[in-house]
Each structure stands twice: as structure tokens, then as C-alpha cells.
A and B are shown apart, each in its own frame.
Chain A
Amino acid sequence: MLEALKAIYGQAFTYYNDQEHLESYYWFQDQAHIQFGIKKSAVTEKELQLLKLYYETVDQFTTPKSPAQKAWANLLFNGTEASNPKDSPGLSFPAYPIYIHFKSLPNDLAAFEEAMSALVSETPVLLWRENEAILILSEPSKRVVAEEIVDLMATEFFVDVAVMIGAIFYTAQLSKSSYEWHHQLFERFLRIYPRKRVTSLDHLIPIFLLENLSPEAADFMFKKIQNALSEGGTELKETLLTFFEHNMNVSTASKALYIHRNSLQYRLDKFHEKTDLDPKTFIDAAIIYIGILKYSLG
């Protein structure tokens, strides 16, 4: 629906609710609480009435308010930073971003901010972009924090989120392009792994590499893996991925798959026979993993 509105209003449509846009735009939110603005000058009185019928007007803005939020929003979304560092007191490096993708935004944004501060034990810089929140932290986060955010959002706010631990921002330079890479890779992650809830940028690097591979080269490199997977179906793919997730430990992987360790051994040996790639050795496992990923990407 929002895409249709975007097509109708073109340049007059925005998700970016900075101070300047706040004043010159009408602001609404859809059922998922995603906030969008339409330039006042592009909306007739009748259209405004219609929009108000379909959408709620915004009562609490995801707009950057604190100096640090404004500085980071300018840097990440616009690629601009104040010429005088004193004008950007909130920018400090290195900074550690966590990206949170919402299916629908929480009802109470202030409470969300309070919950995040209480969870990560500092007051993070919190930025909003469409249905994504970006927490900028001064300390690195462990994976368990990402898992806790997912569970906390479900138990306390009843919203479903996916979380990506981002790569470190070392300097202001390149932060905008880094943010854009994060954003794009996170979107791909959500598309490829709709059931997974937690990832890190590091784990998405192979996706990025594979998408820049020509189809001919991919075919040349991964054909035998693809053939073996086509024959073995979903079961073989799940077997290999679970084996890799368990750091190639036959005992724990066979338990997770609920098969006898000999059955797992047999499947791995069969795959080895067919492809000449041994899932039990590191380098072959890495190639098989990338091959499976390529196969999943299509």
C-alpha cells in the first residue's frame, strides 16, 4: 500500500522525518506503525481527508531528537557531519551498531527506548528508518544480546523482530556507505532466511560475495554441489547445514537431526563420494557451505 502511495506522490513522499520534513509534511502511520510523510503542498484538501480515513496521524515521532541522534542520523542517512566536531557531540568512535527489523513497530516508542537502555546497560543512540531501528552502542555486543532483544520484543512488546549485529564504525568517513551495505545485506538476510531471527554482518559476507559472482562462474564452481543437493533434496541440505552449525561434530549434529550418528556418517560419506568434497574437512566444508548458500539464493 505504501509503495502505491510512494508511486503516486513520488518526490513528495518520504519516510525520513527529520525536523525539516516534520514541518512541511503531513505525517501518518500505517497498521504496522510505519511512519511516512507527504509534502503538504502536494496534497489537496480532499486527498488529506481520504488519507486521514485510511491512516492514523502520527502522535509520537521517530524523529531524531537528541544532539547525538541528529548527528548520527545526518552521518548515516545523509553522509554529512558537522564541519566543527564540537557541533557533533554525540559522534564517538569506534561505535557498534545493532540493527533491528520490525514487522510492525511497537506501540510505545518511548518504552521501547527505555527497554533497550535497560537491556544494553547504557543509553544507546537510537535511530529509526522505516521499520528498522538502529542502536549505536559504545561497547561491542555479544550474540546473546541480539537473542535477548528478539525474545524481549516478543514477550514485552508482542512484536516480531530480526536482529543483525553490524560491523564496527571506526570513523565518520564511509559510515553512510557502511550503513547502506548493512541495510541491503540485512534485507537479503530477511528474504533468504525468513525463519532466522539473529545474524551478524560477518555471517552475511558470503551472500554479498556470491551475488557478485557471474552465473557462469557460479555454475562452473558449484555445479556438482547443486547436482548432489538436487538429488538429496531438502533432507541432505538440512543435514549438511546442521552438521556445519554444530562445528562438524557428528555426535551433537546427529542428536539435533534426530538420526543415529552412523546415519549421519553415511549421508556425509555419500555426499563425499558424489562430489569429492569431504564435509568433515574444513576447506571442503567451507566450499560446500558457500555452494549451499548459492543454491539457496537461486
Chain B
Amino acid sequence: MAGIVMKGIDKVYDKAETKSVDNFNLDIKDKEFIVFVGPSGCGKSTTLRMIAGLEDITAGELYIGDRLVNDVAPKDRDIAMVFQNYALYPHMNVYDNMAFGLKLRKFKKDEIEKRVQNAAKILGIDKFLDRKPKALSGGQRQRVALGRAIVRDPQVFLMDEPLSNLDAKLRVQMRAELTKLHQRLQTTTIYVTHDQTEAMTMATRIVVMKDGVIQQVGTPKEVYDLPENIFVAGFMGSPAMNFLKTRLEDGKAIVGEHTFKIPEGKMKLLRERGYVNKEVVLGIRPEDIHDEPLFIEASKDTTFEAAIEVAELMGAETFLYSNIGEDQFVARVDSRTDASSGKNITLALDMNKAHFFDPETELRIR
């Protein structure tokens, strides 16, 4: 097993006007489960492919362990990859599917047998080794694809959207299984996804990317609670954080016709940074907008009336869609709420949880 160090990595495709990956710097510790997350085209898969050696590195240095691998052939990097497509051989049984890569690398028969049996046991597919992929469920097929990577016992696993082909229920199940698998094998893993929930639930650290540039690196909690900028704040969390155009006065945030008291701790910082009497963006997560009478009673300085346009019952919770000032917002409240579409209700912001962003730089004010 090994850590990975990326120093100033750039990727520019032939004739491209812009960098697909721009000055990527990251130090991945041995045994970490790192997730690259971002919208499509943000450079996360390109970065993974550079680590794999499938793409040339335009500039910068890539180390796996202590070894500079920029010019090392992919097969010699001691990595194993898992992709979205299972890419199983339909006419080979599970055993042969998992053994094929080892045969290619001229492993001895008894070593192949040992490794396949061991991986199959870890993945709970040891009873299916004689079956053809057609006779397996989607989740079992994905396990075979994982098994193919595990038998190699690599220093690093590289996974590119490996759960995207599974239905929603199975994806949740496999997410937990992958986490358990990582805890058991302790192999350094880099996992690419566009799904922020996967990132939040699986990662030891998350790398949020946009337009080829790292926006933030941190633990799931850090990225969620202390987003560096509006992009990260909006990308992590579902429904996304609400952003409200706000004018700051000393102690108050003015949103349209509504005034919200800002806790002194937050106001002190805003004052020190010179934002009094200036425009800012107020970020508030849907779960930090409340409709419970007790909270409203205790938060008289942060309440407002809202006309609910749509109330979506999700089961344990309800999403309320409405407008405040010039902006739309969504509140995530308990499903026992009285609110319904077309009704006016009182809501309160938990201003202790509010974030403030500079409207020009889009960075969190800190």
C-alpha cells in the first residue's frame, strides 16, 4: 500500500484553449479513501486517468509511494481500476472472470486459485464462482468487477463512478459495502463520483473540483460545515444550500423586506472584514430553516412569513419551496408540519448556522 503525492499537475489536451486540470496539488496518505467529486467536465476523471497512466501528464509530478511515476507504464504502477461498466466476460464463469487478469500476468495456477477464492470470500460471492455473469444480479456483477481488482492486491484502487449503473436502492447498499471493504483491506482508494451523497458517506477526505481546479479538500464534515466558497456550499448537500441576496447593516441581515438578527460572534467577523453596509450572499441550508413553534418562539429576531408554493412530502421530512426577497429557497422540515402548498406560514432562520459569502469573489467570509 502507498500514499500518492500530486504536485502542480496540469492536463491540457491537444489544441485545447484551457487546462482540463489546473495546478492540482494533493497529498493522499496511505490507506485513505479519497473521493473526487464535482459536476461533469470538472476534471475528476481526467485526474484519475492521469494517476492510472491512461492520460499523459502535461506538467507536474506524480508520486505513488516514493516513486515518481510520470513516465511509468500503467501496468507497472501497481494499481487496479474499477469502472462504471462491469465489463465482465459473458461466456466466462465468475472464477475465470476474476482470474483472467492474473493469467495475463502469468501468475501460477495455485496462486490464482488462492487469490480468487480469498477475494470471492471477502465479497460474499464464493458460492457463485461457477456461475456465468448473466445468472447474477447487478450488485453481484459489480462485486465480480471489484473482485477482479482485489485479486491483484494493488497498492492503490482507482474507481470511476463504479456504482452509477446500479439502481438507487442497491447503490446505497453497495456504498456501505465498499466502505466496509476499505476498512478491511486498508488499501489506498481514489473514488470518482458526481454524487455528493456518495462523497459524504464514503470519503475520509473529499476533493471538490470545478473547471479543472480544486475548490476544497477536507473531511466530509469540514466541507459541509465550512465550505470555502459558494460553489462548494451549493454542491455539497441535497437539497442544495439556499443563497439569498443580502444587505448587511450592523447586527442585521436585510433580505428583501425581511430583517434577520446576526449573532454577535458572526457579526464581529463581518464588521472586522468591512462588510457593514455592503451586499453579501447569505447561505442557509434547508435544514436550518425551521417551522417548529418552539424554535420560532425562541427566534423572534429571525422569523418571516412565507407563502409556500410547493410542499413535497418525502416521508420522514417535507421540502417546502417558497421565495424570500428576490430568491427562491427550500426548507427541510419535519413531515408533521402543518404547511401545505398555497398556505402562508411562519418560518425562522437559524442564524447561528448561516454562512456569509463575498458576492464578487464568492469566497466564504472568514
Interface residues of A (CB under 8 A from B): 107-108, 111, 115, 118-119, 121, 144, 147-149, 151-152, 154-160, 191, 194-195, 234, 238, 242, 256-258
Contact = CB atoms under 8 A, between A and B. Distances in A.
Contacts of B81: 154-155
A194 B13 contact: yes
A238 B17 CA distance: 14
B220 interface: no
B333 interface: no
Interface in B46-63: 46, 49, 52-55
Given A115-B89, A160-B55, A107 B75 contact: yes
Nearest to B49: A160
A111 B96 CA distance: 13
B209 to A, nearest CB: 11
Interface residues of B, number: 38
B356 interface: no
A226 to B, nearest CB: 15
Contact of B39 (A147, A191, A256): A256
Contacts of A155: 80-83, 87, 101, 148-149
B18 interface: yes
A111 B87 contact: no
B40 interface: yes
B72 to A, nearest CB: 11
Given A108-B104, A111-B104, A158 B75 contact: yes
B89 A258 contact: no
A119 B40 contact: no
Interface of B: 13-18, 20, 39-41, 46, 49, 52-55, 73-75, 80-87, 89-92, 100-101, 103-104, 148-149, 235
A119 B82 contact: no
Contact of A157 (B13, B39, B91, B104): B104
Contacts of A147: 85
B40 A256 contact: yes
B89 A119 contact: yes
Contacts of A257: 39-40
Contacts of B80: 155
B210 to A, nearest CB: 8
A110 to B, nearest CB: 10
Given A158-B75, A160-B54, A194 B14 contact: yes
Nearest to A258: B39
7 contacts: A115-B89, A151-B84, A158-B52, A158-B53, A158-B75, A159-B74, A242-B40
Q: Which of B18, B84, B90 has the most CB of A within 10 A?
A: B90
Nearest to B13: A194
A74 to B, nearest CB: 30
Contacts of B41: 238
Given A155-B82, A160-B55, A194-B13, 9 more contacts: A119-B87, A119-B90, A121-B91, A148-B85, A154-B54, A155-B80, A155-B149, A156-B104, A258-B40
Given A111-B104, A151-B85, A242-B40, A118 B13 contact: no
A242 B39 CA distance: 12
A234 B49 CA distance: 23
A152 B20 contact: no
A157 B100 CA distance: 11
Contacts of B39: 256-258
A239 B14 CA distance: 22
A148 B55 contact: no
A144 B148 CA distance: 20
A165 B14 CA distance: 24
Contacts of B16: 194
A158 B73 contact: yes
Contacts of B235: 258
A126 B53 CA distance: 26
Contacts of A242: 40
Contacts of B18: 234
Contacts of B83: 151, 154-155
Contacts of A159: 54, 74
A108 B106 CA distance: 11
Which 4 A-B pairs give the minimum distances between C-beta atoms? Answer: A258-B39, A118-B89, A158-B74, A158-B75
Name the residue in A148, A152, A155 with the highest tally of chain B Cβ atoms < 10 Å from its Cβ: A155
B266 to A, nearest CB: 26
Nearest to A194: B13
A158 B53 CA distance: 8
A121 B133 CA distance: 12
B89 to A, nearest CB: 4
A47 B217 CA distance: 55
A121 B90 contact: yes
Contacts of A191: 14-15
A257 B210 CA distance: 11
A292 to B, nearest CB: 15
A164 B81 CA distance: 23
A162 to B, nearest CB: 11
Contacts of B40: 242, 256-258
Contact of A156 (B13, B17, B55, B100): B100
Given A118-B92, A195-B46, A151 B87 contact: yes
A234 to B, nearest CB: 7
